[in-house]
Copies of this chain bind each other. A is one copy, B any other.
């Protein structure tokens, strides 16, 4: 059986640090285990264009492993060439780099290691929130007394609300297609706002914690940004493409928003001239962008490497998968998170 993994190049760091499991060098810690069972295991970071290892090996691989950090973009066109492909495993959370509708049509399963990164991302959100709000001197504020809202109150968004709770915010709000269970909402003291424009207009800070799908792509665009409170902050560790990159940069320059932070980009790695690398507010600050790493702390790498191995074991031994890890099952969506057809 041929297993193809597209991972990122860790370089010397990965050679010195075996806990950097999600790298080409350390191969999720599963090389020996796979090869001892007679499987072929191809690992590469080369993922763009027809000569890439990704496109060369996808044609006869049965299993594809990718990550959200250095995503191998599996389009419908590539899927049509992948005659043997049965299962895509995302080592991490977020499978928007895979054309999920096409996976349904081709009867290719898509699984991810649900929950492997929720804590790491929620912590990164909190760090970004505090960084933006407490920017130095003439633009430094307390988080206390501000209105903070999460767009998405799932497993990450809810953890963010929990961590915001002791900061004595003026109010915690959330926007989500379904309401939190009453006890959960009460325990974090969060109020649901059903209308998106009304939601953003009430927040001093909006944190985005929802998946990317056709319903959320470009959701934060020039039109919606007009409805934000003037000088609001935005933290997006979900997916870059949920925000319109040029509209964000323009809103930051005009002062409509005061800051934007996160670690996700609409294309990864981000091109050198990506405007989010250099955009600023009128005071020369307000940019908290870093490379995509919030779900890939060493603690999270251990979790997603373990989780990937479990999914592989289940597949190889024909055992059922854990339901919460299944995005696309046998020819249909199993998750509600991706706005399925």
Contacts and interface: CB of A to CB of B under 8 A. Distances in A.
A205 B17 CA distance: 21
Contacts of A19: 138
Nearest to A165: B166
Contacts of A20: 137-138
Contacts of A119: 142, 144, 168
A315 interface: no
A296 B143 contact: no
B141 A299 contact: yes
A13 interface: yes
The size bracket of the interface on A is 35 or more
Contact of A167 (B17, B123, B134): B123
Interface in A114-168: 119-120, 123-124, 126-127, 130-131, 133-134, 136-145, 162-163, 165-168
A19 B290 CA distance: 30
Given A127-B134, A166-B163, A166-B165, A140 B297 contact: yes
A298 interface: yes
A41 interface: no
Contacts of A144: 119, 123, 299
Interface of A: 10, 13-14, 16-17, 19-20, 119-120, 123-124, 126-127, 130-131, 133-134, 136-145, 162-163, 165-168, 283, 290-291, 293-294, 296-300
